[in-house]
A and B are shown apart, each in its own frame.
Chain A
Amino acid sequence: MATAVRQLLDDPHGAAPGILDETAKREIRRTTLTAVCVPGYQVPFGSREMPVARGWGSGGLQVTLGLIGPDDVLKVIDQGDDGGVNATNLRRIVSSTVGCEADTDTRESTIIQTRHRMPEEALDERQVVVFQVPTAEPLRGVQRSSAECDRMHAEADYSAMWVSLYEDIVRNGIITTSTGYPVLVNDRYVMATSPVPRWDIPRLHQADHLNLYGAGRERRIYAVPPHTTVTPLTFDDVPFEVEYVAGARCAYCGSDDAYLVEAPGGRFICSDSDWCARTAADDSDTARHRALAPLAWLPDPSRPSVKSKPASLLTGAGSSGPAQLPVRAAPAPFDGGDWMLKVDRVGKIFGAGDERAVAGTGPTFGTAVSPLTGAIVAAWDVSFDVAPGEALGLIGESGSGKSTVLNCLIGDERASTGMVRLASVDAGQTDLFTLSAAERRRLRIDTVSIVYQDPAAGLDLRVSAGGNIAERLTAAGWRSYHDIRRRAAELLDRVEVPLSRMDDPVSTFSGGMRQRVQIAKALATGAPVLLLDEPTTGLDASIAAGVLDLLRGLLRERDVAAVVVSHDFAVIEALTDRCAVMQTGRIVESGLTDQLFHDPHHPYTQRLVAAARR
């Protein structure tokens, strides 16, 4: 590598030597500027090959090289240490290329490139800290798909992050994330902190200096500009705490308010070698440093553990959360046109052709496949509405279009035509199909809930039962750990999941229990519309009966507008007052459930009823 660097520095054409050409520097500066304008947002850039391996500070090096000029004074630290091999090499590369000064004294430096530490010394507006970032994406641990991470940032949908914090507290009683603690920047973006120890996090908040983050492998640059709000993510009732060992003191300089690392022999030493040396030599402003140290975030040994046994959660007088579990209000006037969900002429065509594909399909022709275009008319001209406190059934054989209609309602599928409205959205004036995907997703948090046939579709099986419910609650803005715990316990108790299992991963649950957890999650935020897609079909008979009884009780005690999709007349009969029969994508008959069962008019319904009698 040394030869390569020498070749780079030995410019044969006599121009100024350098690692990055002017175009590259300009791009980095432009990216950096964008990053400063949108604090915490990861701005992509064309990361160059550097004369250091990726993972050895190539991102930080590019940012430094993009910004630095001959008048700057560079300091490079690795975990606080100026003397590390990597720090020394980087310092040498940059200063020899740019011709700037290099120093280890934090006070003298204008650009400080660092790996995993913030210098102890107070920084001011002249100074820029450049962090080398191994993983720029704070959501990487909870979401593997980059596209999904981007979407979550775009919609500020950080509930998965909150769930990971929740799970951490449940398992360990504290948030154990030590380095790279997630922070919320400028009340907007969740950002990875490079990873510095928690000790350094409070220093980012309303800092006087500029923080820049360069990730070479992930090709991202982001920033925390001076005077920006930086909040560590934590629940309102679980304090953020920094690392601290009571009574620990640096073996060299005696500091007890600097970030200490454990050395062999049970001793502690300062991680910041420059600070340590100057303090030992009595050349540091210790009073100013103490004011800056995160002493307000030291763990409080007298604070009771937040770890709570699930069984103890129900002893209180009900949930003190933002909202009580909704129960049924007074009965609605019988003649009201008081719909909650209204579906008008919804159609869904898979494949070529628009409305022309519809001719020649439907019950009359006994097929959903268009003879003209070969497209599948999965649903056509489907209309119904549902009122609060009412359950509507959609029944029909496999392939009749029931689930397609439901998927169009929930937004998993884009309908070809028609209109869906919710009374609680814009007073029923807005067609949900005109909303953006983000707006539709937001509706799923607290307005429209769905219970899928497969619990894996509605739950994260790796997460605990409580954590799955916490996901929905944090998405709806709940920030109190204890309120979340209590609500989750109430819900699980209601769906008859033993509270002793509350903190177990759902993957360890049986099918029926998983389905109960999924139901609890769907009810968590008291959404006024509940969609049930074959809620008992995947379960064996006795388990299915239990879940069915549970759903019957829940629908009876709540004012939700429910749509129940099933091919099983017993499920429809147990849960609904009204139902619609679907065949080859059309509603062929609708009416009161007992009327359809006792007096079916359409030939298909008669066959269905005859088949249901066993």
Chain B
Amino acid sequence: MTPVLEVRDLCKTFTLHTIDGRTVVSLRGISLDVAAGEHVAIAGPNGAGKSSLLRCVHRTYLPDSGSVALHLPQGPVELTSLADRAMARLRGREICYVSQFLETPPRAGALEVVADAARRRGLAVDEAGDAAAESLRRLGLDEALWDVDCGVLSGGERQRINLAAGTVRPPRLLLLDEPVSALDPANRELALSLVSSLTSQGVAVLAVFHDLDAIRQLATRVIRLEDGRLVASGTAEEILDELEAVS
């Protein structure tokens, strides 16, 4: 089966010109595949390169070398060299990225943010509004908060808005970076079951969770990163047991 996402030898180094050109190496040659309906969880300590990997796939970071191929019905697309405009259009349409902290435009309400995401997916204006409402309801966001500036909401509320925007329609590839870190148990359950249902609908998910229970519950496969390298890959049990044994 062809994977949805194919990452090969991905390297990323930051050069900090503001500090005498110091370099910080983040990824040292990562290769991995994610297939449709597969949930690959990335585990590893702080600074291992988990988020960098997600961001390199999303092109928020521009990788130095290596390849990131996204397989679309019309054929594979190399994301690292894709024209900016094409990448901008792929984003939100085929690839959705849910970051740990909501990055919304200032002074925008939840419904607006999510409806906007739905519009990017190609929905008409009225459909987008309905889809956004449904998505927010599914994540249990109080309707009284829908038109409040997202910037003033609590961390957990913002995180749910973020997730709602990323999943308002199932994308081809879903990138999750700690999407439930600020949620209370009940809302966390809602969020996790949503991700799980998306996976079963055939969405390819690449996720970072610090919370090992979430990984156990959702991941079909786990990879472990350390110092920018992929050091292990296997089922949740194999990797997590190993991880817990180490700590």
The interface of chain A, by Cβ under 8 A from chain B, is 328, 330-336, 387, 390, 545, 549, 552, 556, 570, 574, 577-578, 590-592, 594-595, 598-599, 601-603, 606-607, 610
Known: A549-B107, A595-B61, A606-B17. A331 touches B87 (CB 8 A): no
Q: Which residues of A contact B107 (CB under 8 A)?
A: 545, 549
Q: Which residues of A contact B55 (CB under 8 A)?
A: 598-599
Apart from A334-B89, A556-B116, A594-B60, what are 15 other A-B pairs with CB-CB below 8 Å? A331-B122, A334-B86, A335-B77, A387-B85, A390-B88, A552-B105, A556-B119, A577-B88, A578-B88, A592-B59, A592-B60, A598-B55, A599-B55, A599-B62, A601-B15
Q: Which residues of A contact B120 (CB under 8 A)?
A: 331
Question: Which of B84, B88, B89, B120 lies at the interface centre, i.e. has the most chain A CB atoms within 10 A of its CB?
Answer: B84
Please determine whether A606 and B77 come into contact, CB atoms closer than 8 angstroms. no
Nearest Cβ on chain A to B85's Cβ, whole angstroms: 6
- Contacts A/B (CB < 8 Å), 10 sampled: A574-B105, A574-B106, A577-B84, A592-B60, A595-B59, A595-B61, A599-B14, A599-B60, A599-B61, A603-B17
Q: Which residues of B contact A594 (CB under 8 A)?
A: 60
Residue B169 at the chain A interface, CB threshold 8 Å: no
Please determine whether A598 and B61 come into contact, CB atoms closer than 8 angstroms. yes
Nearest Cβ on chain B to A304's Cβ, whole angstroms: 36
Residue B16 at the chain A interface, CB threshold 8 Å: yes
Q: CB-nearest residue of chain A relative to B77?
A: A335
Q: Which residues of B contact A598 (CB under 8 A)?
A: 55, 60-61
Q: Which residues of A contact B14 (CB under 8 A)?
A: 599
Cα distance, A607 to B17, chains bound together (Å): 8
Q: Which residues of A contact B93 (CB under 8 A)?
A: 331, 334
Nearest Cβ on chain B to A602's Cβ, whole angstroms: 8
Cα distance, A288 to B16, chains bound together (Å): 93
Interface 1/0 per residue, B90-124 and A, CB below 8 Å: 10011000000000011110000000100110100
Question: Which of A552, A570, A592 lies at the interface centre, i.e. has the most chain B CB atoms within 10 A of its CB?
Answer: A592
Nearest Cβ on chain A to B100's Cβ, whole angstroms: 14
The interface of chain B, by Cβ under 8 A from chain A, is 14-18, 55, 59-62, 77, 83-90, 93-94, 105-108, 116, 119-120, 122
Please determine whether B60 and A390 come into contact, CB atoms closer than 8 angstroms. no
B18 partner, pick from A552, A574, A590, A606, beta carbons under 8 A: A606
Nearest Cβ on chain B to A587's Cβ, whole angstroms: 13
Please determine whether A595 and B85 come into contact, CB atoms closer than 8 angstroms. no
Nearest Cβ on chain B to A297's Cβ, whole angstroms: 48
Please determine whether A578 and B116 come into contact, CB atoms closer than 8 angstroms. no
Cα distance, A556 to B18, chains bound together (Å): 35
Cα distance, A551 to B212, chains bound together (Å): 43
B85 partner, pick from A330, A331, A578, A602, beta carbons under 8 A: A578
Q: Which residues of A contact B90 (CB under 8 A)?
A: 334
Q: Which residues of A contact B16 (CB under 8 A)?
A: 606
Please determine whether B17 and A592 come into contact, CB atoms closer than 8 angstroms. no
Cα distance, A591 to B119, chains bound together (Å): 23
Q: Which residues of A contact B84 (CB under 8 A)?
A: 577-578, 590-592
Known: A556-B116, A592-B84. A601 touches B62 (CB 8 A): yes
Nearest Cβ on chain B to A547's Cβ, whole angstroms: 12
Nearest Cβ on chain A to B21's Cβ, whole angstroms: 8
Q: CB-nearest residue of chain A relative to B12?
A: A599
Cα distance, A606 to B15, chains bound together (Å): 10
Q: Which residues of B contact A549 (CB under 8 A)?
A: 105-108
Q: Which residues of A contact B89 (CB under 8 A)?
A: 331-335
Please determine whether A592 and B88 come into contact, CB atoms closer than 8 angstroms. yes
Q: Which residues of A contact B17 (CB under 8 A)?
A: 602-603, 606-607
Please determine whether A545 and B106 come into contact, CB atoms closer than 8 angstroms. yes
Q: Which residues of B contact A577 (CB under 8 A)?
A: 84-85, 88
Q: CB-nearest residue of chain B relative to A386?
A: B85
Cα distance, A607 to B19, chains bound together (Å): 11
Q: Which 7 residue pairs of A and B lie closest in terms of their CB atoms, listed nearest first?
A: A603-B17, A334-B89, A577-B88, A599-B61, A578-B84, A335-B86, A331-B122
Q: Which residues of A contact B106 (CB under 8 A)?
A: 545, 549, 570, 574
Q: Which residues of A contact B87 (CB under 8 A)?
A: 592
B62 partner, pick from A556, A591, A610, beta carbons under 8 A: A591
Q: Which residues of B contact A333 (CB under 8 A)?
A: 89
Question: Which of B16, B88, B106 lies at the interface centre, i.e. has the most chain A CB atoms within 10 A of its CB?
Answer: B88
Cα distance, A592 to B83, chains bound together (Å): 9
Q: CB-nearest residue of chain B relative to A332?
A: B89
Question: Which of B16, B85, B120 lies at the interface centre, i.e. has the most chain A CB atoms within 10 A of its CB?
Answer: B85
Cα distance, A390 to B61, chains bound together (Å): 21
Cα distance, A601 to B59, chains bound together (Å): 13
Cα distance, A345 to B69, chains bound together (Å): 31
Q: CB-nearest residue of chain B relative to A577?
A: B88
Cα distance, A173 to B168, chains bound together (Å): 52
Q: Which residues of A contact B119 (CB under 8 A)?
A: 328, 556
Q: CB-nearest residue of chain A relative to B94?
A: A334
Q: Which residues of B contact A590 (CB under 8 A)?
A: 84
Cα distance, A63 to B115, chains bound together (Å): 72
Q: Which residues of A contact B83 (CB under 8 A)?
A: 335
Q: CB-nearest residue of chain B relative to A602?
A: B17
Nearest Cβ on chain A to B4's Cβ, whole angstroms: 16
Q: Which residues of A contact B94 (CB under 8 A)?
A: 334
Nearest Cβ on chain B to A597's Cβ, whole angstroms: 9
Cα distance, A578 to B88, chains bound together (Å): 8
Q: Which residues of B contact A328 (CB under 8 A)?
A: 119
Nearest Cβ on chain A to B84's Cβ, whole angstroms: 5
Q: CB-nearest residue of chain B relative to A330?
A: B122
Q: CB-nearest residue of chain A relative to B56?
A: A599
Cα distance, A545 to B88, chains bound together (Å): 24
Cα distance, A520 to B107, chains bound together (Å): 22
Nearest Cβ on chain B to A415's Cβ, whole angstroms: 24
Nearest Cβ on chain A to B108's Cβ, whole angstroms: 8
Cα distance, A390 to B77, chains bound together (Å): 21
Nearest Cβ on chain B to A413's Cβ, whole angstroms: 27
Nearest Cβ on chain A to B94's Cβ, whole angstroms: 8
Nearest Cβ on chain A to B246's Cβ, whole angstroms: 31
Q: Which residues of B contact A578 (CB under 8 A)?
A: 84-85, 88
Q: CB-nearest residue of chain A relative to B82?
A: A335
Q: CB-nearest residue of chain A relative to B84?
A: A578
Q: Which residues of B contact A556 (CB under 8 A)?
A: 116, 119
Please determine whether B62 and A607 come into contact, CB atoms closer than 8 angstroms. no
Cα distance, A248 to B106, chains bound together (Å): 67
Q: Which residues of B contact A390 (CB under 8 A)?
A: 85, 88
Q: Which residues of A contact B59 (CB under 8 A)?
A: 592, 595
Cα distance, A493 to B108, chains bound together (Å): 20
Q: Which residues of B contact A330 (CB under 8 A)?
A: 122
Q: Which residues of B contact A334 (CB under 8 A)?
A: 86, 89-90, 93-94
Cα distance, A610 to B107, chains bound together (Å): 23
Cα distance, A591 to B82, chains bound together (Å): 11
Q: Which residues of A contact B122 (CB under 8 A)?
A: 330-331
Q: Which residues of B contact A595 (CB under 8 A)?
A: 59-62
Cα distance, A45 to B106, chains bound together (Å): 63
Q: Which residues of B contact A603 (CB under 8 A)?
A: 17-18
Q: CB-nearest residue of chain A relative to B52?
A: A599
Nearest Cβ on chain A to B16's Cβ, whole angstroms: 7
Q: CB-nearest residue of chain B relative to A552?
A: B105
Cα distance, A592 to B94, chains bound together (Å): 17
Q: CB-nearest residue of chain B relative to A596?
A: B62
Q: Which residues of A contact B77 (CB under 8 A)?
A: 335
